[in-house]
Chains A and B, each alone.
Chain A
Amino acid sequence: MRIKKDTLYSFLLVLPSLAAVAIFVYGFIGWTLRVSLSQWTGLLPDYTWVGLQNFVNLFQDPRFFIDIRNTVIFTLVFISGSLIIGMGTAVLLDQNIRAEGFFRSVYLFPMAISFIVTGVVWRWLMNPAMGSRMSGLNLLFSSLGLDFLVNQWHTTPVWGIAAIALPAVWQMSGYTMALYLAGLRAIPDELREAARVDGASEVQIFSNIVFPLLRPVTLSAMVILGHISLKVFDLIVAVAGKQIPLDVPAIYMWQTTFDGYFFGRGAAIGIFLLISVAVLIVPYLVFSLRGEVEL
């Protein structure tokens, strides 16, 4: 009887947040889906059914093609950069060095900054002006005699979006490092010692024992970084404003909805983003709910 009462009260206590999530998350997802299937253009709602027309138009839209290309390039550079630098610094920090706590905080700090602040600072660093107006990193490279490193950064045709991934790597590699460090600390010393007794070199220990055991961490990191990268918006706007060469789906969604009043098309882009993030996250959630890989 007592347990039943407790269950009832705990249910009552979570009820408000359940209701809020139901309305403000799932309700609005449903509403966005409905809008994405309508022809709503203009200030006032127009729910006339057009089926998948908005989605069909999107995939014939040259701008959306650029968005997809940019997202793919950004994601590849961002995830691989963060994973490599994150794992590298984690392995170095794991060597029982002095002042480990200090370095750990220093590398982790960028994560505490918002993408907007990072973007503004890197906007100055990656100034693409040439000649007498050169500044930022280009000026540093040029005065150090490293002229081959001077480049156009985010104004480079086609690959400019990769330059935007640099600040993102700078910001998130410390976080990736923290994830890997936790993973490294979870590997029992007995395993390494046993390998040493068997005569394995340190490199062999890393590649045959440590690296495979870090696989679940890599998977988590990829999922976390991946969903950030699919939704990126603020960083690009802060570094370069809203322009077509650096366009991504989230920026297109904002402009077409709020500047152009194409609500139907904007909602379709929103649903597309939701689906692409879900494709990434749902298998991971299913996988981790079934029980984390045992160490």
Chain B
Amino acid sequence: MFLRSFARCWLYAAFLAALGACTWADLRPGKSTSSLPQNQVEVFSWWTGGGEAAGLDAMIEVFHQKHPEIEFINAAVAGGAGTNARAVLAARLQAGDPPDSWQGHAGQELIGTYVAAKQLEPLNFLYEQEGWLEVMPEMLIPLISQNGQIYSVPVNIHRANMLWYNPKVLSAHQIAPPQTFDEWIAAMEKLQAEGMEAPLSLGEQWTAMHLFETVLLASLGPQDYAGIWTGAVGWDTPQVQRALENYLTVMRFTNSDAASLAWQDAAQLVVNGDAAFNVMGDWAEGFFKELGKTPREDFGWQPVPGTQGTFQFLSDSFVLPANAPHRDAAVAWLKVAGSKEGQDAFNPVKGSIPARSDADRSLYDEYLQSAMDDWQTNTVVGSLSHGVVANDSWKQEIDTALGLFLQSKDVAVFQQALLAACQKSGPCP
């Protein structure tokens, strides 16, 4: 009895010691930077399903053809539209163990979080070397830069300011697709008067923020809209107040069960004829096609009324960490991500347009071709809810203020909270 417990005790102790030794070895800093060979690249993303994962696979295929000697490690983390992945990434960066490259929304979401923490290397050299400055829109570059330094390679472009409508419902009520903001309100008033309780379908809270940014853009115009994010236009100005009042007006036409719907459920209300309009990014088009709906017949599209001529974009992009374990391989990956070949492999599968203007149009469908035209000719501004114009902290504060506003409907308090958020986490003095 005594002997046995003694032996067990030592076994336990030995096991713990072994465990400790392993963990200790794993945690020692500098392990991966020096000792491992340069023939692999670990790329971190939250693309684990659907068109995103298929698009990434297509791009990895291009990478394999160009660099058969480099092993590609796909470190994708599933769940929560990237929330889980970002938490994992934060933990890895805090432990000094970065992947070779990771996916992030281009713009302040990357800059505010990772550049501020000195985790990223500027990529101007790559843009010059590869000639990307000539093939990407001029207005895009400042939105993905800080102090003249470009920090990421955008692989795709989505458009946020899109209005999706049901052509059959509109023609049944003799309404033409609205061209101005006032026409849009008038159309929704008519629909409501004729018995449609909620002409504009809305989903959970982030879709309310998505609607908010498009109404801001429609009310302020592209220049002032860009200004509120750089500090050039104050949040306490009368035009912002007018924009917030417009938002309150638009919210009158939304469904009461919005909080219980995902964006797909809300978008589906339009093609099912339960609602006339939905404001959602252009990934909704891929969703409608998945449902077997015919473009122009079951669903129509146009920019959100009042935002014609403006392309409110968001983009997935890849970065170069300041201390990438395999820097050469990471640069090789970024070259593929920014190349015509890589982008034309990724985007038709994902259902987005390439950031480059020289892509092969024949690979893309009707909607995407129209988006490619707009991308080259329109004024480009960034999206709020998808990380271009505001850093994560600022966006989180806006999200809270917006959620409180949806309860209280108090414009003055909302405007005050938005100003406070900008002062705390944005550029406002």
Contacts and interface: CB of A to CB of B under 8 A. Distances in A.
Interface of A: 9, 12-13, 16, 41-45, 62-63, 66, 123, 127-133, 152, 154-155, 157, 240-247, 255-256, 258-262
A243 B13 CA distance: 48
Contacts of A43: 90, 93-94, 113-114, 116-117, 119
B122 interface: no
Q: What 5 A-B pairs are tightest by C-beta distance, nearest first?
A: A244-B403, A260-B396, A43-B117, A128-B257, A243-B205
Contacts of A260: 392-393, 395-397
Contacts of B406: 244-245
Given A9-B5, A44-B117, 8 more contacts: A62-B404, A63-B403, A130-B256, A131-B197, A155-B257, A157-B407, A241-B259, A244-B406
Contacts of B399: 255
- Chain B at the A interface: mostly helix, strand, loop or mixed? helix
Contact of B256 (A13, A155, A241, A247): A155
11 contacts: A13-B9, A43-B94, A43-B113, A62-B404, A154-B260, A241-B259, A243-B403, A245-B406, A256-B396, A260-B395, A261-B396
A129 B116 contact: no
B6 interface: yes
A144 B87 CA distance: 47
B283 interface: no
Contacts of B269: 133
Contacts of B395: 260
A259 B396 contact: yes
A62 B416 CA distance: 13
A69 to B, nearest CB: 12
A184 B392 CA distance: 54
Contacts of A246: 259
Interface of B: 5-6, 9, 12-13, 16, 83, 86-87, 90, 93-94, 113-114, 116-117, 119, 197, 204-205, 255-260, 269, 274, 392-393, 395-397, 399-400, 403-404, 406-407, 425
B6 A42 contact: no
Contacts of A63: 400, 403-404
A258 B404 CA distance: 20
Nearest to B403: A244
B396 A262 contact: yes
Given A261-B113, A261-B393, A243 B259 contact: yes
Contacts of B16: 16
B29 to A, nearest CB: 15
A258 B259 contact: no
Contacts of A130: 256-257
Nearest to A15: B13
A265 B328 CA distance: 39
B117 A42 contact: yes
Contact of A255 (B6, B204, B396): B396
A240 to B, nearest CB: 6
A75 B129 CA distance: 62
Contacts of A259: 83, 392, 396
